[in-house]
A and B are shown apart, each in its own frame.
Chain A
Amino acid sequence: MSTAPLPVALNTFREAVRDRVLYNLVFFALLMMGAAILVGQISIGIDRLVIINLGLSAISLIGLVMAIFIGVGLVSKEIEKRTLYSLLARPIRRWEFLLGKYAGLVLTLVVNTAFMTIGLAAALFYVGRPLVPTDLLILVAVYFILLELALVTALALFFSCFSSPMLSTLFTVGIYITGCFAGDIRAFGELTRNPAMKILTRVISYLVPNFHNFNVIAFAAHGQRIPFSLVGHNTLYAVLYVALLLIAASAVFSTRNLK
């Protein structure tokens, strides 16, 4: 097994740290502190619900912004700045480079999300509520957010291999939004009587990643049980989708001329 992706991944992580990407944690900490102080004063008995909802939504949104905006530049920035030239002249295959870049950004997102989760736990602790077993659901929700981010990163990386950062952003955001409504699109197709529309909606709903299934923030906030089968299903779904996207990205990038 080649170890070439490892240094690329670590360097991508180092780049994110040095470019002060993790400064978003300060924003998140302020948000959580403000929420913890305010919520205690304005809500009666629903402080837990508000904090968890707000915290998990912020974790998801900040992660998405990072995954998309850093993801679309993973390859194109290296080509544009020509940092790739002296790297690819070394014994590293192009797919290994892509895998390293992908792993580096996912590592950044994991570290960032871990710190934000600690911040959320601290905010819950601040509002004076003892930890209860259903709080573990927060970890499941965070895990699903990470799966979602891993998928979005793979999408952004895929587009980054052949289009400009602006177009890649548009494509990734477009697919993400479509994917959030994949279930609704399919339901619409079942309601319509137009056979062409039926087929079209079905194709779209199967083709785009179904991001709706990864959103269990409401379950975690209300302490409702999340089926274990969903954890397995989402994990498998994300792994397969990411693998497909990385294979497609490698196929595109392996034949690309670096002019």
Chain B
Amino acid sequence: MSMPAIEIVGLTKDYTVGFWSKRVRRSLDNLTLAVEDGEIFGFLGPNGAGKTTTLKLLTGLIFPTSGTARVRGRSIDDISMHREIGYLPEQPYFYDYLTARELLDYYARFSTYSSQDRRERVSQLLERVGLASAADVQLRKYSKGMLQRAGIAQAILHEPQVVFLDEPMSGLDPVGRHEVRDIILELKKQGRTVFFSTHILSDAEMLCDRVAVLAAGKLQGVGAPGDIVSLEVHTMDILFELRPGQDLPPGIAHKITRIGARCHVEVPEHELYAVLDELRRSEARLLSVLPVRPTLEDYFLRLVGTEGAVSRGVEVTTT
């Protein structure tokens, strides 16, 4: 059996808060997780759920209170692990007196590239993330979206096997988001593992092989989006158009939402054919019939609850 790309066992992080009366706040609680090589893994959760804490633990920016983690078999304490990873922090901020080309050149100096290879790799990446035309502009003049692109470029600069992206779509316009999605899929094609946190569930649903949901520092569930979100269909969505002067079909009139001539009705699956018969009788023009499948968002909201939309960790003890 192949070694997981990321292996997390019982990872816990506590912070001490307060000045006079110190309290311990648990940001991450006993997280155990394995991410396979070559997977795109989505890490979902509301603000304050512990996503960024997990990424910071895995990249060595903070230290665990307990538990261990390994990336491609190397402990997160091991400096050689850092050769295997790339990291895009949340809302990245870079040295704003540098241009994007200088920034990437600077970071590339911590890799094993020769100066010629370094220049080529930097130019190639700037092209890839759509910053070639602004490559020699200082970062202080960049928009949020451009900074995000520069951040993605630095994360994959040294061709790491495992890429950690903290909210990679944040601040991007639809074109930018589409490009980032392409980059993530391209990384997967190259056999790399992508571990990204997001609260944009459609991105996770579209990209991820598997997702994990975190709330209040605790793992709530993990699996393929299709497994997490049941494929079982319980309701059908029907869209139809009334002819000029036509009344609503009497049998289902109370269920219909009408906008101008267009009508929309959601019915239980077992009533579908009866409703279609009614529409045929009333000679309405059928536009579409679609199964209503629960989305990851539905699952997510159900799991964390409306009150959990903003969770800030859990205070566990008072000292």
Residue pairs across A and B with CB atoms within 8 Å: the count is 73
- Assembled-state Cα–Cα distance A6/B87 (Å): 22
Given contact pairs A81-B93, A91-B79, A259-B62, A86 touches B87 in the complex (Cβ within 8 A):
yes
Tell me if A86 and B110 are in contact (CB < 8 A). Answer: no
Whether the pair A7, B92 counts as a contact (CB closer than 8 A) is: no
Count of chain B residues near A, Cβ 8 A: 33
B94 touches A19 (CB 8 A): no
B113 within 8 Å of A (CB atoms): no
Contact status A89-B95, CB under 8 Å: no
* Interchain CB contact (< 8 A) of B106 among A11, A18, A81, A82: A11
Contact with B along A7-25 (1 / 0, CB 8 A): 1000100110011000000
A-chain residues with CB within 8 Å of residue B88 when the two chains form the complex: 86
Q: Tell me whether B59 and A89 are in contact (CB under 8 A).
A: yes
Enumerate chain A residues within 8 angstroms of B86, measured Cβ to Cβ. Answer: 89
Task: Name the one of B61, B94, B98, B151 contacting A258, with C-beta atoms under 8 angstroms.
Answer: B61
Known contacts A89-B59, A89-B82; is-contact A18 B93 (Cβ 8 Å) = no
Q: Does B83 interact with chain A (Cβ within 8 Å)?
A: yes
Given A82-B92, A85-B61, A86-B154, CB of A91 within 8 Å of CB of B110 = yes
Minimum CB–CB distance for A54 against chain B, Å: 33
Contact yes or no, A89 B60, CB < 8 A: yes
Contact A19 B97 (CB under 8 A): yes
Most buried by A among B80, B86, B95: B95
Residues of B within 8 A of A258 (CB): 56, 61-62
CB distance from B52 to the nearest CB of A (A): 10
Asked if B97 and A15 sit within 8 Å, CB to CB, the answer is: yes
Tell yes or no: B145 within 8 A of A by CB.
Answer: no
Contact with A along B66-89 (1 / 0, CB 8 A): 000000000000011011011111
B89–A82 CB distance below 8 A: yes
Decide if A37 is an interface residue (CB 8 Å cutoff).
no
B56 contact set on A, CB distance < 8 A: 85, 258
Report the Cα distance A18→B85, complex, angstroms: 31
Interface residues of B (CB under 8 A from A): 15, 56, 59-63, 79-80, 82-83, 85-89, 91-95, 97-98, 106-107, 109-111, 151, 154-155, 158, 164
Q: Which residues of A contact B (CB under 8 A)?
A: 4, 6-7, 11, 14-15, 18-19, 81-83, 85-93, 255, 257-259
CB-CB nearest 3 A-B residue pairs = A89-B87, A18-B97, A7-B109
